[in-house]
Every structure is written in structure tokens, then in C-alpha cells.
DNA sequence: CGTATTATTGCAACATAATCGCAATAAAAT
DNA sequence: ATTTTATTGCGATTATGTTGCAATAATACG
């Protein structure tokens, strides 16, 4: 399935690139200059995830948030990192903290979704 | 707000106690002998969480799963532990693996939701 | 006991997130 | 220019979870 370049794709990727926070579909739709259909945004995002351009975070609110993988090297060591959700400013950000665990025998980990919740630095003043 | 003992409450708690896996509202409703309304189950579960009898896990599928806190002492050291979701048998279990992280200055963590996904021991044969 | 208080329940309606089918559009290849 | 088919918009649909309200029942209290 070959990918095609479209204004929609570029707009969403550009927005994610310039954002310091992970964004939900909702937030993306609101922040975009052009009007893009909801289903389309989801499809674009899902494609980005498939292509490992973007990673998906599921927060405690059950919603999906998307963030660009800038420094997310697929190096086995720092494969997964924590995310932080601030209950005060309601933003989700990537923390440069590797997820460490020792999995029991026989288990195989394919993905990790780790979200810490609380108050961020900006809001704790 | 005082709590009252009801058949519903006991049935749900008993089911969670005897289950080795975390259960969704859906699964609880199906596994219960008596028919209990969906909203009621959610309300019972939310009360259990408020009272720290049960803890809530939000998985990658965006759904809530509930598990009994048997050995979940509120000791600060092992406050949070990992959970594992098997994509093969579609179950979620508590791992006795503490969540370790070093949070940046100024951040305050109130909760952690950490789910590893992959294949469990039973399914990896 | 009998009665009063109010936590709990069932039901329907609601809210929101995310997906899907299908026809129309448009990017890319030829 | 024409063909191919990935992408889009739209509406409908599924799913999870919550809420308002009246009815029910657990608990306290005389
Ligand atoms: Mn991240
Ligand atoms: Mn657990
Ligand atoms: Zn904040
Ligand atoms: Zn399994």
C-alpha cells in the first residue's frame, strides 16, 4: 500500500512537529488552519503510527494522544519512555525517562503505554 | 456518604476477588450470575476505586479494567506496579513489578498507569 | 418492631471517542 | 492524457462510560 502526499497529511504532521505536547484528534482538528474531517484525521494518524512516524499514547481518560517521534530511536535500550499528563493544564508530554522493567519468564513485550499523572512543573508553582 | 452492603456490591467484589485477571465492566456483567444493570456496575466499581478496594487500569484499547488490591500496600516504595495485556488471550493481569522512574524537578506524580502489551506466558508456547 | 433517612438501583437518555461503508476526489504512475 | 488506486468527506454505526430521575431497600433510631 503506497503512501501519497496530501495537504492533509502535511498539515497534521507539521502541526505535530511544532507541538511540544501530544495532541488528541480533537485538539488537532481545532488547531488546524484548514478544515479536515474527523475520520480523515484519525486515518492519517493511524497511518503515521503504522509507519512509525508518530506514536500513540492512551491516557487515563481513555483518549488517544499522538506525538512525533523526534528522538525516539528504536534502539532497544530506550525503546519506551514515560509520558506525563498534567491534570491542571490537561496536557500530555513525553518524558525522557526510559521505562524499565524485568518481565517474567515466557512473556514477550511488544509495546508499552506508561503514563504518569499529576501536576507538571509549570502548574506546580 | 456512608456505604451500604448490597447483593450487587458483594457479587462484584466476590467476582473480582476470585479472578486472577483484571476485568472490564463488560466481562463482569457477563460473568455475574445475577443480572445487574450496566450503570450500576460502573457505579459500584467507581465506589470501590474511591475506597481503594480496587484499582483501575486503562489499557491501550481505551477501556477500563478493574482489579482487586490484594497485595497493593500503599507503601510508598511499591506504590505502582506494571500491568500486562496479552494480545492473544486478551487478558490483563497485575505484574509484581514496581514502576520506577525519576521525575523531573517540579513535577508531582499522583498516579501511574503502566501497561505492557504482548504475549503472556500461557500464550507464548 | 415500625418509621424515617438516604444510599443504591434500574432505566432511559446522553456524551464522547473512534471506526466503517461508500461514493467522490485526486496523487502518482504510465 | 489516461489509468490506477490511495485518500477524503460524509453519514451512520459501534462502543464505552456517565447522568437524571423515580423507585427500592439498607441502615439507624425511637
Ligand atoms: Mn512519547
Ligand atoms: Mn494491578
Ligand atoms: Zn500542567
Ligand atoms: Zn495470553
pLDDT of residue A93: 94
Give chain A's count of helices (H) and strands (E): 3, 5
In A, which residues are within 8 Å of B121 by CB distance?
104-107
What is the percent of chain A with per-residue pLDDT over 70, rounded to a whole number? 93
Question: 10 Å Cβ neighbour count for B89?
Answer: 11
Distance, CA B105 to ligand 3 centroid (Å)? 13
DSSP assignments along chain B, one per residue: ------HHHHHHHHHHHH-SSBB-HHHHHHH-SS---HHHHHHHHHHHHHTTSEEEEE-TTS-EEEEE-SS----STT--EEEEEETTT--EEEEEEE----PPTT-EEEEEEEEEEEE-TGGG-
Least Cα separation, residue B76 to chain A (angstroms)? 15
A85: cell is 499528563
* pLDDT tens digits, A84-99: 999 989 899 999 999 9
Taking all residues of chain A, what is their mean pLDDT, rounded to a whole number? Answer: 92
Pairing of strands B92-98, B81-86: antiparallel
B40 pLDDT exceeds 70? Answer: yes
Instruction: List Cα–Cα distances, B85 to A63, B18, B112, in angstroms.
Output: 18, 19, 16
In angstroms, the CA of A1 and the C1' of D3 are apart by 17
What does the alpha-carbon distance between residue A25 and residue B23 come to, in Å, rounded to a whole number?
28
Contact A61, A25 (CB under 8 A): no
Taking all residues of chain B, what is their mean pLDDT, rounded to a whole number? Answer: 92
Pairing of strands B64-68, B54-58: antiparallel
pLDDT of residue A72: 62
Nucleotides of D under 7 A from a protein CB: 6-12, 16-20, 25-27
A61 pLDDT exceeds 60? Answer: yes
pLDDT of residue B73: 56
Scanning every residue of chain A, which has its alpha carbon at the shortest distance from the alpha carbon of B109?
A: A118
What is the percent of chain B with per-residue pLDDT over 90, rounded to a whole number? 86
pLDDT of residue B74: 58
Across B68-77, b (16+ Cβ under 10 Å) vs e yields: beeebeeeee
pLDDT of residue B41: 98
Residues flagged as binding site of A for Zn(2+): 86, 89, 120, 123
User: CATH for A7-118?
Assistant: 1.10.10.10
* pLDDT tens digits, B67-113: 997 766 555 556 899 999 999 898 999 999 999 999 999 999 999 99
Distance, CA B10 to ligand 3 centroid (Å)? 39
The confidence band for A124, taking pLDDT boundaries of 50, 70 and 90, is confident
H/E stretch holding A117 reads: strand A108-119
pLDDT of residue B62: 96
Contact B104, A84 (CB under 8 A): no
Q: What residues in chain B have their Cβ under 8 A from chain A's Cβ atoms?
A: 58-64, 82, 84, 87, 95, 97, 99-121, 124
Instruction: List Cα–Cα distances, A122 to A24, A60, A87, B11, in angstroms.
Output: 21, 21, 12, 44
In A, which residues are within 8 Å of B108 by CB distance?
118-119, 124
In A, which residues are within 8 Å of B120 by CB distance?
106-107
A74 pLDDT exceeds 90? Answer: no
A82 pLDDT exceeds 60? Answer: yes
B117: cell is 502489551
> Closest protein residue to D8 using CA and C1' atoms?
A40
What does the alpha-carbon distance between residue A40 and residue A46 come to, in Å, rounded to a whole number?
10
B98 pairs with which residues across the strands?
B81
pLDDT of residue B64: 98
What is the percent of chain A with per-residue pLDDT over 90, rounded to a whole number? 86
Distance, CA A55 to ligand 1 centroid (Å)? 7
pLDDT of residue A14: 97
pTM of structure: 0.93
Least Cα separation, residue A69 to chain B (angstroms)? 18
Amino acid at each position: 500500500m503506497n503512501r501519497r502526499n496530501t495537504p492533509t497529511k502535511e498539515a497534521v504532521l507539521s502541526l505535530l512537529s511544532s507541538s511540544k505536547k501530544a495532541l488528541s484528534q480533537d485538539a488537532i482538528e481545532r488547531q488546524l488552519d484548514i478544515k479536515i474531517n474527523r475520520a480523515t484525521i484519525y486515518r492519517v494518524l493511524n497511518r503515521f503510527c503504522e509507519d512509525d512516524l508518530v506514536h500513540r499514547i492512551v491516557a487515563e481518560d481513555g483518549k488517544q494522544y499522538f506525538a512525533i517521534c523526534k528522538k525516539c530511536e528504536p534502539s532497544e535500550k530506550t525503546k519506551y519512555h514515560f509520558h506525563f499528563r498534567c491534570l491542571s493544564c490537561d496536557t500530555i508530554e513525553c518524558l525522557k525517562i526510559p521505562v524499565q522493567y524485568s518481565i517474567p519468564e515466557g512473556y514477550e513485550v511488544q509495546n508499552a503505554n506508561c503514563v504518569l499523572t499529576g501536576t507538571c512543573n509549570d502548574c506546580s508553582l
